[in-house]
């Protein structure tokens, strides 16, 4: 047990060193210019982050969700965009590891873990995000291949990624609709290309793009799980870990906003004293710190349940909802504490303010999270 804790500590220290030496000083420029952080991606590969949650038998680190979440929170304190680059990739990897057959796993997982092939998860379409069962992408079987046609949008790593888990309809007339959905592992090639890079408010550096499929042929062996009609359940099964991840990002952004506000409020003076001595600012700091602490505990709770193999959709939803709102509120308050300087591009708080809203949208909007929490509450507490 002690050894394990030492190892965890070593991993966290290696991440901290990297963030301090290689990342912190470069974020502002890369972020404002919306430049893909290629050098940092190379360093993340060496740190093993592209295999963080993949099993050691495939060359991954096999980290538990609890430690993974702490890593994600730390990186997000410095630059949240970086976590999207490996997390989307790990969501794709999770589907292969959890549902793929032996052949698919041995073919892809070692390359995913080494960061040799990187990619993401392609669910959303121009007409369907929350209502995933309304997607239009079709996969039609032709011999030992499926032919895919359609467009995905908002896909993280869309330009720089090479391989994606893609949700498509194999039976558009199925009733219920989810029974007609299947997940395919698709490598870029003839008929599958990235469309335009989408311009965003924040979450810069990482490429969000449209993916276009025109008569793209994928081997039937790349149908994840080997059976049609499982895609929707597979997508949903990945969401618990996905939500823990987004929640951990929320912890990081909320903590960063608090740290910036704490520092600034002790430096800036008005009416002869540091602004942190004004009660109005203290009320904000007190609320911000409490949100960070509560968000951290909710994330830890959900991650520990996940690691114990317990059902944690409600807890992951609570963590995601609370921590992303904490990031949003803390970023806003940090900006107000900075006064006019909070509106300046020279201070980090304006980036946090632009990054935070994404966390309320991605991996299931916060409107949906509350509905999911309530449904589970009712199901777990029948009268
Ligand atoms: C930067 C970024 C990166 C992304 N990365 C990826 C990615 O890598 N892969 C991927 O597949 N997708 C990705 N997405 C897409 C993201 O998952 C969707 O944007 C999200 O699921 C919401 O879907 P939508 O945008 O279609 O909104 P809609 O589904 O159209 O929702 C619009 C509004 O209606 C609300 N709403 C919808 N239905 C209900 C309901 N039943 N009850 C109450 N309220 C409801 C929503 O909460 C929201 O407020 C990304 C998005 C962004 C912005």
Q: DSSP per residue over 269-337, as a string?
A: EETTEEGGGSHHHHHHHHHHHHHHHHHHHHHHHHHHHHHTT---HHHHHHHHHHHHHHHHHHHHHHHHH
Residue that terminates a domain, selected from 185, 212, 234: 234
Residues 368 and 249 in one domain: yes
Residues 251 and 225 in one domain: no
Same domain, 198 and 222: yes
From the CA of 368, how far away is ligand 1's center (Å)?
10
Q: For 118-166, what is each residue's pLDDT tens digit?
A: 999 999 999 999 999 999 999 999 999 999 999 999 999 999 999 999 9
Pair 285, 218 in one domain: no
Atom 20 in ligand 1: residue holding the nearest Cα: 129
The protein residue whose alpha carbon is closest to atom 25 in ligand 1 is 129
Can the peptide bond before residue 3 be classed as cis, meaning omega within 30 degrees of 0? no
Number of the ligand 1 atom closest to the C-alpha atom of 156: 8
Ligand 1 mean position, distance from CA 271 (Å):
46
Checking if the pLDDT of 6 tops 90, the result is: no
| Mean of pLDDT values over 218-239 | 96
Question: What is the reported pLDDT for 5?
Answer: 75
Domain containing 82 equals: 2-113
Contacts of 94 (CB under 8 A, 6+ apart): 53, 238, 241
Query: pLDDT at residue 2 above 80?
Result: no
Question: How high is the pLDDT of residue 282?
Answer: 98
Atom of ligand 1 minimally distant from the CA of 366: 47
Number of domains in the chain: 3
The reply to whether 374 and 314 lie within a common domain is yes
Ligand 1 atom with least separation from CA of 131:
29
Over 70: is that where the pLDDT of 3 sits?
A: no
Catalytic residues: 363
Distance 130 CA to ligand 1 centre (A): 5
Instruction: Give phi and psi for 107, each to the nearest 5.
Output: -75, -40
Instruction: Tell me, yes or no, whether 230 and 257 share the same domain.
Output: no
Shared domain for 12 and 103, answered yes or no, is: yes
CATH number of 262's domain: 1.20.140.10
Pocket test for ligand 1, best of 150, 365, 369 (most atoms within 8 A of CB): 365
H or E element that contains 147: strand 145-156
* Angstrom distance (rounded) from CA 382 to CA 158: 43
pLDDT digits (tens, 9 = 90+) for 81-97: 999 999 999 999 999 99
pTM above threshold 0.85 = yes
Domain limit, last residue, from 113, 143, 165: 113
Q: What residue ranges line ligand 1, CB within 6 angstroms?
A: 88, 120-124, 129-131, 154-156, 200, 203, 208, 358, 361-362, 365, 367-368, 371
Please indicate, yes or no, whether residues 125 and 197 belong to a single structural domain of this protein. Answer: yes
Boundary-marking domain end, from 113, 141, 157:
113
Are residues 214 and 249 both part of a single domain?
no
Q: Whose CA is nearest to atom 30 of ligand 1?
A: 129
Residues 97 and 53 in one domain: yes
- Could you tell me if 128 and 212 lie in one domain? yes
- Exposed, middle or buried by CB within 10 Å (0-12, 13-18, 19+), for 215? exposed
What are φ and ψ of residue 111, in 5° steps?
-75, -35
Torsion angle of C-alpha atoms 107, 108, 113, 119, degrees rounded to 10: 160
Atom of ligand 1 nearest to the CA of 130: 29
Domain containing residue 162: CATH number: 2.40.110.10
Tell how far the Cα of 136 is from the centroid of ligand 1, in angstroms.
16
Centre of ligand 1 to C-alpha 361, Å, is 6
Report the SS3 class of residue 166.
Answer: strand
Residues 157 and 99 placed together within one structural domain of the fold: no
């Amino acid at each position: 047990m002690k050894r394990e804790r030492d190892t965890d500590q070593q991993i966290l220290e290696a991440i901290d060193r990297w963030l301090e030496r290689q990342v912190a000083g470069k974020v502002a420029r890369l972020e404002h210019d919306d430049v893909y952080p290629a050098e940092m991606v190379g360093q993340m590969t060496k740190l093993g982050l592209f295999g963080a949650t993949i099993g050691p038998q495939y060359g991954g680190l096999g980290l538990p969700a609890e430690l993974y979440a702490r890593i994600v929170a730390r990186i997000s304190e410095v630059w949240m965009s970086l976590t999207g680059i490996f997390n989307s990739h790990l969501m794709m990897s999770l589907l292969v590891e959890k549902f793929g057959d032996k052949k698919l796993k041995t073919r892809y997982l070692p390359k995913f873990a080494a960061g040799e092939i990187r990619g993401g998860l392609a669910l959303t379409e121009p007409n369907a995000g929350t209502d995933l069962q309304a997607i239009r992408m079709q996969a039609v079987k032709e011999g030992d291949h499926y032919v895919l046609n359609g467009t995905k949008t908002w896909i993280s790593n869309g330009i720089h990624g090479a391989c994606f888990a893609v949700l498509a309809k194999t039976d558009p007339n199925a009733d219920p609709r989810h029974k007609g959905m299947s997940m395919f592992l698709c490598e870029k090639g003839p008929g599958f290309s990235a469309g335009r890079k989408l311009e965003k408010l924040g979450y810069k550096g990482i490429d969000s793009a449209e993916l276009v499929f025109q008569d793209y042929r994928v081997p039937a062996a790349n149908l994840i799980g080997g059976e049609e009609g499982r895609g929707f359940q597979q997508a949903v099964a990945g969401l618990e870990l996905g939500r823990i991840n987004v929640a951990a990002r929320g912890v990081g952004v909320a903590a960063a906003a608090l740290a910036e506000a704490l520092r600034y409020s002790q430096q800036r003076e008005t009416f002869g004293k540091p602004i942190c001595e004004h009660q109005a600012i203290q009320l904000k700091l007190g609320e911000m710190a409490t949100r960070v602490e509560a968000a951290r505990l909710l994330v830890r709770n959900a991650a520990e349940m996940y690691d114990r193999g317990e059902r944690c959709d409600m807890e992951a939803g609570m963590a995601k909802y609370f921590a992303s709102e904490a990031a949003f509120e803390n970023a806003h308050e940090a900006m107000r504490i900075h006064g006019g300087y909070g509106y300046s591009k020279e201070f980090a708080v304006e980036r946090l303010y632009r990054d935070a809203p994404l966390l309320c949208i991605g991996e299931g909007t916060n409107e949906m999270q509350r509905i999911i929490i309530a449904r589970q509450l009712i199901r777990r507490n029948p009268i």
